[in-house]
Amino acid sequence: MSVALITGASQGIGACIARRLAKDGFDVAINHYPSEGDKEKAEAVAEECRALGVKAEIFAADVSKMEDCEAMVKAVKETMGSIEALVNNAGITKDKLLARMAEEDYDAVIAVNQKSIFNMLKQTCPVMMKQKYGRIVNVSSVAGLYGNPGQINYSASKAAIIGMTKTIAKEYGKKNIVCNAVAPGLIRTPMTDVLSDEVKAKMLEAVAMKRYGEPEEIASVVSFLVSEDCSYVTGQVIEISGGLSM
Ligand code: NAP
């Protein structure tokens, strides 16, 4: 059975990806931030995955910390046997216009959204190389493609992910490891629930389909990108935004 490791999978898009990959037949390793609340939510996601007939285990790790990622990847290998697919999904926002943004908020978002990708790739690529097989998906954002007022930290981290994705595609292509990114638009999750109605309405004006995306609509694209069928697509960024940028 193939194993998929999904970061930040206790809620939102990550939880939805875990459920979808379990439905696709993957055993799933569900990463959650090391807190009691996240552990409880991750365990509920794992239970839903097990009900689909696959193995599902939860792994606590703050993905912004290299030592946590190292311990987690080791534990996943020991418990689940291999890692065929990695979905780097964990992310945070700390939005403010440049004039008001504190340096700590810039650094925190870069650490969780960007450095975590380096940490997870550093630990997981050697495993995939030994297997001579790997599928990696990094969750970027339309903010990384086009920028967004109030998100200089978030946009920087999500743009960096695109460069990292293309670099890994080039470094590991000959090892039969493909690496792609998805760039979601406005998706209905706890991350966007906190936006004001006014901000949401303004954002929707630019969306051709005039509606939010659902986490399932991200998961279905990821489902292809981690499948065996995704054998000659690498270094690509798939925008999933209901037509934001045409
Ligand atoms: P979400 O509901 O807030 O989920 C993000 C998950 O990541 C949470 O479970 C969170 O745990 C976890 N996480 C945060 N920091 C972590 C850390 N250091 N280590 C491990 N886990 C950590 O957000 P979402 O909307 O599902 O977002 C998922 C991904 O999609 C993110 O990368 C986000 O940037 C991206 N994205 C979302 C949208 C959107 O419209 N929703 C659009 C474009 C891109 P806590 O709850 O404890 O923080």
- Residue whose token pair is 């946009």: 155
Distance between Cα 1 and ligand 1 center (Å):
27
244 CA → ligand 1 middle, Å: 21
CA distances from 231 to 158, 174, 177, 235, 238 (A): 25, 12, 9, 12, 16
Cβ–ligand 1 contact at 189 (below 6 Å): yes
Residue 245 pLDDT greater than 80, yes or no: no
pTM of this prediction? 0.98
> Got the DSSP string for 41-88?
HHHHHHHHHHTTTS-EEEEE--TTSHHHHHHHHHHHHHHHS--SEEEE
pLDDT digits (tens, 9 = 90+) for 30-39: 999 999 999 9
**Residue 13 — very low, low, confident or very high, per pLDDT cuts 50/70/90?**
very high
Digit-coded pLDDT (tens) for 207-234: 999 999 999 999 999 999 999 999 999 9
Residue with tokens 């943004």: 101
pLDDT at 82: 98
Mean of pLDDT values over 125-143: 98
Ligand 1 atom closest to 116 (CA):
18
Q: How far is the CA of 172 from the centre of ligand 1 (A)?
A: 26
- Residue 106 Cβ contacting ligand 1 at under 6 Å: no
* Cβ of 46 below 6 Å from ligand 1: no
Q: Is the CB of 92 under 6 A from ligand 1?
A: yes
Choice among 49-63, 71-85, 129-143, 188-202 with the minimum mean pLDDT: 188-202
The number of the ligand 1 atom at minimal distance from the alpha carbon of 12 is: 26
| End-to-end alpha carbon distance in the chain | 40
pLDDT (0 to 100) of residue 202: 85
Half-sphere exposure (Cβ direction) of 63: Cα atoms closer than 13 Å? 33
For the cut 90, the answer to whether the pLDDT of residue 196 exceeds it is no
Rounded Cα gap, residues 153 and 169, in angstroms: 25
Q: What is the pLDDT of residues 21-71, one digit of tens each?
A: 999 999 999 999 999 999 999 999 999 999 999 999 999 999 999 999 999
Residue 91 Cα to ligand 1 middle (Å):
4
With a 6 A CB cut-off, is 91 part of the ligand 1 pocket?
Answer: yes
Could you confirm whether 154 is annotated as catalytic?
Answer: yes
For the segment 188-212, the average pLDDT, to the nearest whole number, is 89
For residue 191, the model assigns a pLDDT of: 86
Residue bearing tokens 């080791």: 74
| pLDDT-based confidence at residue 111 (cuts at 50, 70, 90) | very high
Could you tell me if the CB of 45 is within 6 A of ligand 1?
Answer: no
**Per-residue model confidence (pLDDT) at position 12:** 97
Could you say which of 154, 172, 212, 232 is catalytic? 154
Strand order in the sheet with 177-184: 56-60, 27-32, 3-6, 85-88, 134-139, 177-184, 237-240
Contacts of 31 (CB under 8 A, 6+ apart): 5, 6, 7, 8, 9, 14, 42, 58, 59, 60, 61, 63, 72, 90
Q: Is pLDDT above 80 for 129?
A: yes
Q: State in Å: Cα 188 to ligand 1 middle.
A: 12
Q: Is the pLDDT of residue 246 over 80?
A: no
Model pLDDT, residue 95 = 95
| Both structure tokens of 32 | 């959650």
**Which of 30, 87, 88, 92 gets mutated to test ligand 1 (max ligand atoms within 8 A of its CB)?**
92
User: Is the separation of the CB atoms in 173 and 126 below 8 Å?
Assistant: no
User: How many Å apart are CA 236 and CA 118, to the nearest integer?
Assistant: 18
Q: What is the mean pLDDT of residues 136-144?
A: 98
Task: Locate the ligand 1 atom nearest the alpha carbon of residue 16 and give its number.
Answer: 26
Query: What number is the average pLDDT over the span 228-246?
Result: 95
Please give the mean pLDDT across all residues of the chain.
Answer: 97
Q: Which of 100, 216, 215 is nearest to 151 (CA)?
A: 100
